[in-house]
Structure 1
Amino acid sequence: MSDDDLTRIDLNLLVVFSALIETGSVTRAAERLRSSQPAVSRSLARLRELFDDPLLIKSGKEMVPTPRALALKGPVAAALGDIRRLFKPAGFDPAIDRRRFRVSSTDYGVLSVLAPVMGELATTPNIEIAVDPLSDDDHQKLASGALDMVIIGRTPERPELYRRRLFTERRACLVREHHPITRDPDVMAGRPPTIDACLAWPHVVITVLGDLTGSHVARQLRRLDKRRQVAVQMPYFSVAPLLIEQSDALLILPERAAKRFAEARGLVMFEAPDVFGTFDYWLVWHERARRDPALHWLIERITATVGDPACA
């Protein structure tokens, strides 16, 4: 049967066929379908023409199906089931449905957002998360479907992007144990050091998307007409702490990451100067996926695990 032939078929006829084969009566089929007997009779006539078979034959007060009708019963029921599922609202069951999520993030995002939900994801073996590094064209990848979600520390401005704020993050300083700055009076008192105290030491600088001059810290330093000595510039949050263990370099990074590295590697963490401020951390996805139940399942799991209720 060609596509042209299919366009001439009224799918409602399959519904009528199903009612007739199950009730064995035009009257009862009409009642079930909330239709009239003449309308059901006309549909039966069209079905007989379509299948070139009587389908139902009068036998006393009942109508009995022909062999052709009995052969059609299962396929018609299956076809109607498929059609109903087509129009059923999309759902997602992580216990049985398979999904591979493509996420763009820094290693800080993996550490602070994805790592805490891995325990729950371990119970959903059909779920896979593939992480790509952040890039300047992530918004295009979201639009094309190459990415499902971006985890990022700056507010997305494009109107086609949806977002959820997870938490507000402070910046912290990290140095080796016994670093001279740990004897700074402010640091010893549990206060942030002055900006000049921080700038007295070389810095290991983490640059997202490779932009040394575009970071918030760099902009604040320019605003204050301050300069820092950059010892090493790199895009890796997780590797940067290794470079300060055997040197007097200082590292400024998000507080959540700083706490983990301080505990894991015996480093010293203290608050960064207030001028460096805070930033919000976001989940970002595209308008095309706003009705994707699988993606929203993941968003809700992340929010429930690491989201700050004050940011909801």
Structure 2
Amino acid sequence: MQLRQLDLNLLKAFDALMDERNVTRAAERLAVTQPAVSATLNRLREALGDPLFVRTQRGITPTERALALSAPIKRILADIEAVLQPQAFDPGTAKFTVTVSATDYALRAVVMPFIAELRPLAPNVRVAVIQAHGPELLDRMERGELDLALITPQMAPPDVHVRPLFDERYVCVLREGHPAAAQDALTLDTFCELDHGIVSLQGGGFSGPTDDALARLGLQRQVKVSVPSFGMLLDLVRSTNLAALVPERLLVGVTGLTVRVPPLDVAGFTKVLAWHARTHADLRQRWVRDLLIRTCSLPTPQSGI
């Protein structure tokens, strides 16, 4: 295709077909008829000398040529959209939706403080929180369904922008009045004798990094409860004699718990913010990212240990 043949509508149609893999859905997304999309696809095929998409039972499948063009065309469209945006951004009057992928931990430790900072500054900006994992994370970013992801560095897909937010450490929590809470410091023997609860994101697991650390010392703790969320775990610890190791930032604003330093070294983790090149230059998204990053850099109350 030569530059004089370039039509922005061709690129938009190609991008929609790549994302949707279905002519009907692509037409709905572009607000045009299905025959119009089919005609545009024929123009693309003629200009590029490649079928680009072949029909299957589930819709259409891109050819190798289409797959190679997908990322560059998406970047071109994002750059054009950024150029056409107003050079001034007013959060007070802005109206748009930002979609964030977050685990239960990130929701409580990052998203909730971020929304508290966001609301007075940009009251008409909506926040949608979803969960996306693995290949789905990059796919949804490419399709425009996801703007930001709060993940660990190991989870970051290739070819995305990543900004470290903070390093997290684990602390041990007990309910106020727990017999072991009378000790200023937990011994390793006492720690292993306690009944513990843990979070298992996959569901049903009764071991984690703490148990790996104990095993290296030839020790074992008593894990009696496995739950899918930190919110549930904190509620259980507050109302029972269970102990738990939890990320320290979860305890901001939480009452009814006694916090102790774990009697062994348990590796913490780093939380990062990830976003796609599609939104990198977008003024609105840049403002949201900067606010989220600033929120994470604000001093947090200490857990009391």
State the TM-score, normalized to the length of structure 1.
0.61
Asked whether 1:307 is paired with 2:302, we answer no
Contact kept in structure 2, 1:135 and 1:209, CA below 8 Å:
no
Question: Structure 1 pair 103/225, CA: closer, same or farther in 2 (3 Å)?
Answer: farther
Question: Structure 1 pair 270/147, CA: closer, same or farther in 2 (3 Å)?
Answer: same
State the partner residue of 1:181. Answer: 180
Q: Identify unmatched segments of 5+ residues in structure 1.
A: 1-5, 8-83
Question: Structure 1 pair 101/87, CA: closer, same or farther in 2 (3 Å)?
Answer: closer
The aligned amino acid for 1:131 is: V
- Structure 2 residue corresponding to 1:281, chosen from 261, 271, 278: 271
Instruction: Measure, in 2, the Cα distance between the counterparts of 1:111 and 1:223.
Output: 31
| Farther off after superposition, 210-219 or 130-139 | 210-219
The aligned amino acid for 2:222 is: Q
Contact kept in structure 1, 2:156 and 2:162, CA below 8 Å:
no
State the partner residue of 1:99. Answer: 96
Q: Deviations over 1:117-141 (max 9, x none)?
A: 3333223122011111353432332
Question: After TM superposition, what 4+ stretches of structure 1 lie above 6 angstroms from structure 2?
Answer: none
State the partner residue of 2:133. Answer: 135
Q: Identify unmatched segments of 5+ residues in structure 2.
A: 6-79, 300-305
Contact kept in structure 1, 2:198 and 2:245, CA below 8 Å:
yes
- How much identity, in percent, do the aligned residues show? 27
Q: Displacement, 1:297?
A: 1.1
Contact kept in structure 2, 1:258 and 1:269, CA below 8 Å:
no
Structure number with greater Rg is: 1
State the partner residue of 1:229. Answer: 222
- Trace 1:120-199 onto structure 2 (pairs within 5 A): 120-123=117-120, 124-136=122-134, 137-184=136-183, 188=184, 191=185, 193-199=186-192
Instruction: Measure, in 1, the Cα distance between the counterparts of 2:139 and 2:220.
Output: 35
Question: Structure 1 pair 170/125, CA: closer, same or farther in 2 (3 Å)?
Answer: same
Contact kept in structure 1, 2:142 and 2:276, CA below 8 Å:
yes
Q: Displacement, 1:218?
A: 4.2
Q: Displacement, 1:241?
A: 1.6
Instruction: Measure, in 2, the Cα distance between the counterparts of 1:157 and 1:211.
Output: 25
Asked whether 1:244 is paired with 2:241, we answer no
Contact kept in structure 1, 2:204 and 2:226, CA below 8 Å:
no
